[in-house]
Every structure is written in structure tokens, then in C-alpha cells.
Amino acid sequence: MTSVFIQHIISIYIDIHCKYMKLKCCKNKKAKDGLKKTVDFLKAISEENRLLILCLLKKGEMCVCEIWQYLNLPQNLVSHHLKVLKDFGLIKSRRESTKIIYSLNQKNSKKFISSLSHFIK
């Protein structure tokens, strides 16, 4: 997916979500917090390389040295994308000797996908 396409999807989603929010109650703090978290989630995955990283990790655990070679990006840039995804809770890491091994955080990924599908349906 291209970045423009992803941004278009995000724009449509936000429009739908905002209409939903106004119908329910635009003053509901819980709904506003949900909107903020959903927007942050969409921002985290809107970068093409982050989506590619998630696709790679869907196949299994990988270290940054494997990921950056597959993406053909500098290691420091891949590390930045991994940090964004980890800070958001979409991936997790563990140390194995001198390497850090990354994997999908299935629980959080399912939670965000579920909340996203809740507003699109």
C-alpha cells in the first residue's frame, strides 16, 4: 500500500468516526479518548515501512539486523520505526544474548483492529 492510499483510508475513517461520535454524544469523554487512541493507532501504522515491519513480524520473530536487510533501509531508521511500534504496543521485544528479538503483540494488535472495525461497521 502506498502512503497516499493509507492517508486516504485514515481520512475516510476519521470522517466516519467523527460522524459516529456526533450522533452518540460529542461531549462524552470516553468516546473522545477512544477517538484519540484510534487516531494515534492510525498514525503509527500509516507509514509504509511500519506496515512492512508488521507484515514481516506476522511471519515470526526477527531481530533488527534481519529486518533492515529485508527492507533495504539504514539500521537506525528501522530502529526508529520499531521504537514507534513498540511504544504504541503493537510489537514487543526480548533480549537474546546481544540481539533484541521483536515480535507482534497479538493482544494489543487485536484490540486496535477490533476498535477500528467497531467504528467502520
Q: What is the CATH number of the domain that holds 7?
A: 1.10.10.10
Taking alpha carbons only, the member of 95, 96, 91 closest to residue 112 is 91
Q: Which domain holds residue 83?
A: 3-120
Q: What is the pTM of this model?
A: 0.69
Q: What is the pLDDT of residues 31-81, one digit of tens each?
A: 666 777 778 888 888 899 998 999 899 899 999 999 998 999 999 999 999
Q: Report the percentage of the chain scoring pLDDT > 70.
A: 62
Contact yes or no for 53/9 (Cβ under 8 A): no
**Main-chain phi, psi angles of 97, to 5 degrees:** 65, -120
How many domains does the chain fold into? Answer: 1
